[in-house]
Structure 1
Amino acid sequence: MSATPIIRHKFTADPTAIVHQNKVFLFTGHDEPPPGVDDYVMHDWLCFSSSNLTDWQEYPSPLKATDFTWASGDAYASKVVFKDDWFYWFVAVTHQHIPGKAIGVAKALQPEGPYHDALGHALITGDMLPGKPGEKANLDPTVLIDDDGRSYICWGHQVCYFAELKNDFTGLASDISTISLPHFMEGSHLFKQNDWYYLLYGHGTPEQIGYAMSRDIHGPWEFKGFVCGPADNSETNRPATLEYEGRMLFFFHNGNLPGGGSHRRSVCLDELYFNADGTIQEVKM
């Protein structure tokens, strides 16, 4: 899947986006391995905005992994939502004291920040998960605020986890369950459209974007196929969607900038189209 990155002066990955005051605010991870290092090196997240989807204004980095005092670093994929006058940023980081990755929540009164730790501790840690989770189990949170105001979080690596959130995002309002999806790797993304719930995710290796649909947020989920094939020059992909001016935008990443690759990725943008039965037409670059 070949596409031109929309942010070209820095390596960006793992997009999430919202609309605020008629602008699209795009939040991304930030790949910055030093020369000669071929690994994930991510210390902070970035924020951009645009009113035409072509020209993007960059803001100072509004959040870094160590802004969570309980975290040792690693700014993995994230999700931003708006609720009750606050912008909430759900992120995956490495915990200092509890083995494995953890999910934290930061908040701000403006989309561009600055953000601060909303809880003072992790929202989800490895010791909360059912079964025998791997070290990377708590990756890539996605949050959906439903029409009735209830909120749900989905995340995971090789196992897809699901729970309801408390109304104020201070904790979980349900037990943690799992969703069975074929070849689930990571990169989950929830959204709702025309009474259908959609769960997009990284499928297999290299990751294609697969998706499932359900009439109920609690399932059952039915796998429907692929939104797109593997990203060009990147083993991973992480989708995000956003309805803006009557269009359903589709954000993802690839490795198409000069010097790019699986650890030096770049966020791209396309558009999603739906069939009459709600299924998604595959994105063809």
Structure 2
Amino acid sequence: MNLVPLFCATALSLSVSADAGNPIITDVFTADPAALVHDGRVYLYTGHDEAEVDKPGYVMNEWLVFSSDDMVDWKAEGSPLSLDDFEWANVHAWAGHAIERDGKFYWYITAWEEARGEFGIGVAVSDSPTGPFKDALGKPLVTSDLTENPMNYEDRRILWDDIDPAAYIDEDGQAYLFWGNTNCYWAKLKDSMVELDGEIHQIELPDFVEAPYIHRKGGLYYLTYSKGFPERTAYATSESLEGPWEYRGVIKQLAGNCNTNHQAVVEFKGRDYFIYHNGGLRTGGSFRRSVCVDYLRYGEDGSILPILPTEEGVVSADEPLER
């Protein structure tokens, strides 16, 4: 992401179009998706792009939640979390990721902290996947003084490599947090889910930019991420979350009129889905993005087959797939 001045914008309606196809949300601009499955529903967590038409810049003040029981019809659950919920955060409600543990839901977010002059990763907690969420710490969980090689844009005094968190809980119950811009970081989380446990590590990945995301399939761990700029989606695999990671290539090309790619992967009712954003709405673009969903498929060797974005999207998870 490029940090540029903010502009005021009027929030759009949070209703959801009943029409199937991509983008899946058409009445509000959504970006940076994350998803989890809970009690037979998929919960989609997104950022909210509010930039005005023809005024470049990321204007993001809150996060949104949607839910679905079939991956086609999405219910708007409102905005259970915003910058106002973090006393330390000033602007830039950027990418986040939600995860459930022991009946509580933890939402890791990116925001700008004016006091430090940098981006930080915060965490909010709720008893429900739709909130309300509250700041679990009263301060960022991750700041640049914890990481070895912070990206420092001295001309604008920006520290912003601590963005785009993604959490994962392994089969043995150990939780991990991945994040980064230019540098890809990971660390273990304590059982509380609001404290790092031990040292912070780095992963060397070709042209890593941002948006790390972890999922597992068939005994392999998959780390998808945004590569280069404008961004493509690439991935690596490993037999352990702690590596080593083997780079496997690009799976999704440029998102048309949108400079960024940011993905989530979810398995629901026996099908694998790739969730991403583009600038596909009529007045969309790099700062007015929209979430889409297509199928994720694997080769016999465990490779991820190229993601081919479609206008049609997916069919109801309760309907049979055409063969």
Q: How far off is 1:96 after superposition?
A: 3.0
Alpha carbons 1:86, 1:110 under 8 Å: kept: yes
Whole-angstrom CA distance in 1 between matches of 2:199 and 2:112? 22
Q: Which moved further from structure 2: 224-233 or 253-262? A: 224-233
Structure 2: runs of 5 or more not aligned: 1-20, 153-158, 310-323
State the AA in 2 paired with 1:120: G
The structure with the larger Rg is 2
1:121 has 2:145 as partner: no
CA contact (8 A) 1:183 1:203 kept: yes
Tell me the amino acid that sits aligned with residue 173 of structure 1. Answer: D
TM-score by length of structure 1 reads: 0.96
Which structure 1 residue ranges, 4+ long, deviate > 6 Å from structure 2? none
Q: Report what 2:238 is aligned to.
A: 214
Q: 1:240 aligns with which of 251, 264, 271?
A: 264
Cα root mean square deviation, aligned: 1.2
Q: How many residue pairs align between the two structures?
A: 283
SS in structure 2 opposite 1:173? strand
Structure 1 distance, partners of 2:149, 2:213, is 23
Matched AA of 2:301: D
Displacement, 1:203?
0.6
Report the secondary structure of 2:84's partner residue.
helix
Q: CA deviation at 1:283?
A: 1.1
Deviations 1:95-120 (A, max 9, x none): 13222100000011111111001112
- SS of 1:76's partner is strand
Q: Which ranges of structure 1 fall in alignment gaps of 5 or more residues?
A: none
Q: What corresponds to 2:37 in structure 1?
A: 19
8 Å Cα contact 1:98/1:126 also seen in 2: no
Kindly report which structure 2 residues correspond to 1:129-278, keeping only aligned pairs within 5 A, or say none: 129-134=147-152, 135-278=159-302
8 Å CA contact retained: 1:233, 1:262: yes
What SS class does the counterpart of residue 77 from structure 1 fall into?
Answer: strand
Looking at structure 1, the residues matched to 124 and 287 of structure 2 have their Cα atoms a distance apart, in angstroms, of 25
After superposition, what is the alpha-carbon deviation per residue over 1:143-167, rounded to whole angstroms, capped at 9, x for unaligned?
1100000011111111111111111
What's the secondary structure of 1:174's corresponding residue?
strand
- Superposed displacement of residue 38, structure 1: 0.8
When structure 1 is superposed on structure 2, of 93-102 and 129-138 the one drifting more is 129-138
CA contact 1:230–1:237 (8 Å) conserved in 2 = yes
Q: Identical aligned pairs, as a percentage? A: 41
Displacement after TM superposition at 1:36 (Å): 4.1
Distance in 2, matches of 1:39 and 1:7, equals: 21
Is 2:85 the counterpart of 1:61? no
Shift, 1:284, TM fit: 1.8
Out of 64, 69, 82, the position equivalent to 2:100 is 82
Query: Do the aligned residues in 2 keep the contact of 1:66 with 1:73 (CA within 8 Å)?
Result: no
CA offsets, 1:49-81, max 9 Å, x none?
Answer: 111212111022110023111111211011000
Q: Distance in 1 between matches of 2:256 and 2:268?
A: 26
Aligned to 1:284: 308
